[in-house]
Amino acid sequence: MQTFEITGGTPLLGTIEVGGAKNVALKLLVASLLTDDELIIHNVPKLRDVLFMLDVLKSLGVKESFVGNTVRIQGGANVATTVPLEVGARLRTSSMVLGPMLARFGEAKLPNPGGCRIGARPIDRHIEGLKKMGATISYHSDDGYFYGVAKKLTGADITFEKNTHTGTETLILAAVLASGKTILRNAASEVEVDDLIGFLNSMGARIQRTAENEITIDGVESLHGSEYTVMPDRNEEVTFAIAAVVTKGDLTIKNSQRNNLESFIQKFSQVGGGIEEIDDKTTRYYYKEPLKASDIMTQRYPGFMTDWQAPWALLMTQSEGVSTLHETVFESRFSYVSELKKMGAVIEFYTPKVADPEKFYNFNWDDKVEGYFQGIRITGPTALHNAVLSIDDLRAGATLVLAALSANGQSYVHGVEQVDRGYEKIEKRLSRVGAHIKRIEEE
Ligand code: EPU
C-alpha cells in the first residue's frame, strides 16, 4: 500500500497539462479485438486501469508495446476468448471485451465484473442488448463466469431503458461487425462515446449519431488498422480547476476543452470561480473571490457529471452558506464524506424528494442498499485541517488529495493506488505547480 504525505496550505500556481482520457483509451484498446491489423493509439495515459486493460488483452494473446504515451496493439485472428479470472477481476471495464468477442469469434467467457466501491454496477443492460442481437448469454454462479455464444450477431433495434455509458459502447463494439443495421435508442451521449465512434469509423466502421441519444451502426465485413489520438480527459481538467480554487491558487490548464465542460464551467462561474479563456486549448482557473453555495444534481451528458460531484463537494466546503449535492447516477458515491468530516467539513446526508425514485435514478432501484443516501448538504465555509485519510475510489481519492493540499498542516492519504487508476503521475504534476506531496511506501 502507498500513501501520500501532503503538507497543505500552499496555493498551486503555474501551468499543468491534461492527459488523455482514461474512459476513451480503455475502449480503444478493446477495439484491438476487432481487427487483424495493428492499431497505433497516441495520448494514452499511463495509469493503472490502462495497464490492467492491457494485461487483460495480453492474457488473450494480443500483442502490444507502450512507449511514452503511444500504444501499438495488434489482436490478430487467433486471440483466446476466455478472460482469466485473476486479470478480469481487477478492472470492471474488462467486461467490454464481450461485444467484440461475440461479434468476431462467436464466443466469449468472461468473469462477472461484480460490484465496486461506487455501487453494484451490474452489466444487465449490456447483456440484454447483445441478446437482442442474437447472442445467447448465461451466467454460471458455480464459477462466476458469463458464457456467451453467437453464430452471427445481427443488427437490432435496441432501446436502453436507462442510460448506460459503457453499455452503449459495448453494443457499438459488437454492432460494427454484426450483419445489418443496429439502432441504439436512449444511447449515452457522453463525448467520450463520440471519440470511440470516431476511432471505429477511422477503422472502417459505419457509425453515426442519427438523432438525440440515438446511434445507428451499419455492420461491415471487417475493420482495418488505424492511427488515432485520444481526446483529453475532462475529469482531469475539472480536478485541476477545483485544485486551483481550493488552494487559493491560479492554474493554467493546457489541452483544455471548454466546449465539453459547459455544465461545469457554468456552475463554476456562478459560485465565483475565476476563469479566463487564454486560447482554444488553454484555460486559466483561479481563486477570485469568496465562493457562493450551489445546488447540484448529477446527470448524464450534457449535465453535471457524477465524476465531478466529489471534488465539487470539497469546493462547497469553502463556500458561504448551505449547498446540496444530489447523486442520481450511482447509488453509492459519497465515500469521501466521512473523510472530509475528519478534516472539519460540515456535511450531512439527506434524502432528496423524488416522485418516482425507481424510474428517476439511473441505477437499478433493486441495487439500492439500506442506509445509503442520494443527497448531501454541506455548510460552509470551513477551514479544513490536516488528518489521516483513506481512499476507496478514484474520484473520491483525487478529492481527498485536493482537500489535503488545501488544508493547513500535514496529512496522510492512504490508498493512493486508487488515484493511480485514473491520474498519471499526479504527485509529479502537482509538485511542479507548488504542491508539497510525497509518495511513501508502507510496509
Ligand atoms: N447500470 C446498471 N446496469 C447496466 C449498466 C449500468 O444497473 O447494465 C447502472 C450502473 O450501476 C450505474 C448507472 O447504471 O448506477 C450508470 O452506469 P453507466 O453504465 O452509465 O456507467 P459506467 O459505464 O459503468 C462510465 C465511466 C464512469 C462514469 C460513468 C458515467 C468508464 C470506464 N466509466 O461508467 O467513470 O462515472 O460512465 O458517465 O467509462 C470514473 O472514471 O471514475 C468512472 C467511474
Which CATH code is given to the segment(s) 2-19+232-441? 3.65.10.10
Cα separation, 342 vs 320, whole angstroms: 20
Alpha helices (runs of H) in 39-82, residue ranges in sequence order:
48-59
Cα separation, 421 vs 70, whole angstroms: 18
Catalytic residues: 116
Q: Dihedral of the CA atoms 303, 304, 305, 311 (nearest 10)?
A: 170
For residue 392, give the DSSP letter: -
Ligand 1 touching residue 255 (CB < 6 A): no
Ligand 1 touching residue 394 (CB < 6 A): yes
Q: Give me the count of residues in the chain.
A: 443
Quick one: cell of 126? 449490456
Strand-strand pairing, 38-42 and 226-229? parallel
Which one, of 8, 426, 308, lies nearest residue 316 by Cα? 308
Q: Determine the distance separating the centroid of ligand 1 and the alpha carbon of 14, expressed in angstroms.
A: 33
Mutate to test the pocket of ligand 1, among 23, 231, 264 (most ligand atoms within 8 A of CB): 23
Topology (CATH) of 22-229: UDP-n-acetylglucosamine1-carboxyvinyl-transferase; Chain (3.65.10)
Q: Determine the distance separating the centroid of ligand 1 and the alpha carbon of 308, expressed in angstroms.
A: 14
Cα separation, 184 vs 171, whole angstroms: 8
Helix pair 234-246, 394-406: axis angle to 10 deg: 20
Cα separation, 399 vs 243, whole angstroms: 9
Written as tens digits, the pLDDT of the chain (443 aa) is: 899 999 999 999 999 999 999 999 999 999 999 999 999 999 999 999 999 999 999 999 999 999 999 999 999 889 999 999 999 988 999 999 999 999 999 999 999 886 666 677 889 999 999 999 999 999 998 998 999 999 999 999 999 999 999 999 999 999 999 999 999 999 999 999 999 999 999 999 999 999 999 999 999 999 999 999 999 999 999 999 999 999 999 999 999 999 999 999 999 999 999 999 999 999 999 999 999 999 999 999 999 999 999 999 999 999 999 999 999 999 889 999 999 999 999 999 999 999 999 999 999 998 888 888 999 999 999 999 999 999 988 999 999 999 999 999 999 999 999 999 999 999 999 999 999 999 998 76
Q: What single-letter amino acid sits at 11?
A: P
Ligand 1 touching residue 330 (CB < 6 A): yes
Quick one: cell of 238? 475539472
Q: What single-letter amino acid sits at 230?
A: V
| Helices (runs of H) and strands (runs of E) counted in the chain | 15, 24
Ranges of CATH 3.65.10.10 domains, the chain: 2-19+232-441, 22-229
Quick one: cell of 15? 501551468
Q: Determine the distance separating the centroid of ligand 1 and the alpha carbon of 48, expressed in angstroms.
A: 18
Ligand 1 touching residue 303 (CB < 6 A): no
What element of type H or E holds 312? helix 309-317
What element of type H or E holds 165? helix 165-175
Q: Which residues contact 77 (CB under 8 A, 6 or more apart)?
A: 36
pLDDT of residue 216: 98
Ligand 1 touching residue 119 (CB < 6 A): yes
